Structure 1
Amino acid sequence: MAEHEEALLELLEGTFLFQGAPEAAQAALADPRALRRTAAKGEVIYDPRHFQRCLGVVLEGSVQVSKGALIMSVLKRGDLFGAAALFYQRPDYATTLTARSPCRLLLFPQALVEEWMERWPQVGRSYVTYLSQRIWFLSGKIDALTAGTAGRKVAQYLLAHEGEGRVELDCSLTGLAGRLGVSRASLYRALDDLRDRGAIAHRGRTIRILDQTALEHL
């Protein structure tokens, strides 16, 4: 096996789906039905009307998962996507996936995943556990949104408008407060708090993002 393929196999074996079933990871990598895809930075990978009924793995790069203007999460190397839609036969996809950097992806069609579950029960258990964890993750997102704190609104705005690690505001802070539906004082406190956490640096209309993870988990 080539060195590149060995590294790819190691990545697959470490993903949540194949933990405890290395032989399934080996079969997945060797199966010609697995689809390999690349995406340029800013390219839409999935949207509500254009998607493949496949279970995907991020091999390189990062992928933003959003619903409207709301950023749900950012997927990194080894993360899965497409699980919720794999067996739910709706004509649309729930979110939009966009490459935040150049990406390489590996896509496994539904029929292939079904074969794994029949042959290796551990894969089926891992899949159900993964979906259960996603339910808890989304529940936490709902809690954060319904709380509606100024800090959370600011963090979501910055993540949605980030480019090259910064956000260039096209309005004053007073205007931004109006967009976010918070008072000017609340906006200032939120920005100060994010700065004190080391998440951002703010000067004039330029806000540099220093710790993206801190914003995503606010």
Structure 2
Amino acid sequence: MEDCNQQILQQSFLFQGLSKEEFQELLVYFPSPEVFAKGEIIYSRSHFRKAIGIILCGAAQVTCGNGPSQILVNQIVPGNIFGSATLFEEQNYYVNEIKAEKATTILFLSQQTLTLIMKKYYIIAENYIRFLSNGVRFFNHKIAGFALGSSHQKVAMYCAQHCDSQGRVQFSQSMVSLAKILHIARSSLYRSLSELVKTGFLRKEGNYYYMQNDSFHP
């Protein structure tokens, strides 16, 4: 596996806590990554695999619904994981559609492989459980966000969910994609960011935004 791909994997939450030696031992269990062309369907409701996918290069969009009524749920970028929804379940369909936004390289870890490495290093199991818990919280917030009438509230909620330990908001997608995810106009997104800075909820330094408070009161 190429060094750049190894670096992405080592930075993934799934392998946090492993020593460099332990991580190197895991590489023997990993299959060769697969490449998807721009616009290619990676997972659909009827075509998927019992595996988690880890984005190594490129990006993909997660949508739900059919045809023109599709809703953009999320954008996944290098280091992100997908496919956990059906990994340990006996479902014959997948919940969303995942499409490559550009040429995208993905490492797939099957249920059998993931179970094997979890048994070898329990910290991987702990990391995975934490990931599932965060996923439940994310979608609960997502559902709540759809009910919010204010674009300011939607943007504030996103910022609160996507800031690092220093309070810096992590925008992993373009403003166009983020506006679609939040179901607001791009102009409303910029206007809301500006308003949140004015109210003191956010602080802007150069091209970055930082959280100022733990909660937002419109």
Give the TM-score normalised by structure 1. 0.67
Counterparts of residues 9-28 of structure 1 (less than 5 Å): 9-22=6-19, 23=21, 25-28=23-26
- Cα RMSD between the aligned structures? 2.9
> Does residue 119 of structure 2 align to residue 124 of structure 1?
no
Aligned to 2:161: none
* Number of residues of Structure 1 aligned to a counterpart in Structure 2: 167
Question: Once the two structures are superposed, what CA deviation does each residue of 1:171-197 show, in whole Å capped at 9, x if it has no partner?
Answer: xxxxxxxxx9xxxxxx9xx66533535
For 2:94 and 2:10, locate their aligned partners in 1 and report how far apart those are by CA, in whole Å: 27
Q: Contact conserved, 1:84 with 1:131, CA < 8 A, in 2?
A: no
For 1:92 and 1:24, locate their aligned partners in 2 and report how far apart those are by CA, in whole Å: 35
For 2:95 and 2:191, locate their aligned partners in 1 and report how far apart those are by CA, in whole Å: 35
Q: CA offset at residue 41 of structure 1?
A: 1.0
Counterparts of residues 1-218 of structure 1 (less than 5 Å): 5-22=2-19, 23=21, 25-31=23-29, 34-68=31-65, 69-147=70-148, 149=150, 159=180, 192-197=187-192
Gaps of 5+ in 2: 155-175, 195-206, 208-218
Gaps of 5+ in 1: 161-179, 181-186, 200-210, 212-218
For 1:90 and 1:195, locate their aligned partners in 2 and report how far apart those are by CA, in whole Å: 41
Distance 1:126 1:198, change over 3 A: closer
For 1:195 and 1:6, locate their aligned partners in 2 and report how far apart those are by CA, in whole Å: 38
Q: CA offset at residue 43 of structure 1?
A: 1.0
For 1:129 and 1:117, locate their aligned partners in 2 and report how far apart those are by CA, in whole Å: 13
Distance 1:100 1:87, change over 3 A: same
Q: CA offset at residue 159 of structure 1?
A: 3.0
For 1:196 and 1:134, locate their aligned partners in 2 and report how far apart those are by CA, in whole Å: 28
AA at the equivalent of 1:159: K
Distance 1:29 1:148, change over 3 A: farther
Q: CA offset at residue 24 of structure 1?
A: 5.1
Q: Could you say which structure has the larger radius of gyration?
A: 1
Give the TM-score normalised by structure 2. 0.67
